Structure 1
Amino acid sequence: MTKMFGIKNCDTIKKAKKWLEANQIDYQFHDYRVDGITSDWLIEAESKLGWQKLLNQRGTTFRQLSEEKKQNLDTQSAIALMLDAPAMIKRPVLIHNGEYHLGFKPAEYEEVFK
Structure 2
Amino acid sequence: MQEPAIEPFKGIPERDGYVLTWIRKDKLNELTNTTIDEGLELLPWACKIAGCSAPTLKKKLFRYRDVLDMDKGGCVRYSTGSGSPWKFQAPEFKEFVLTHKREFMKSEEI
Provide the TM-score with structure 1 as the length reference.
0.28
Bigger relative contact order, structure 1 or 2 (CA pairs below 8 A, ≥6 apart) = 1
Larger Rg: 2
Structure having the larger proportion of residues in helix:
1
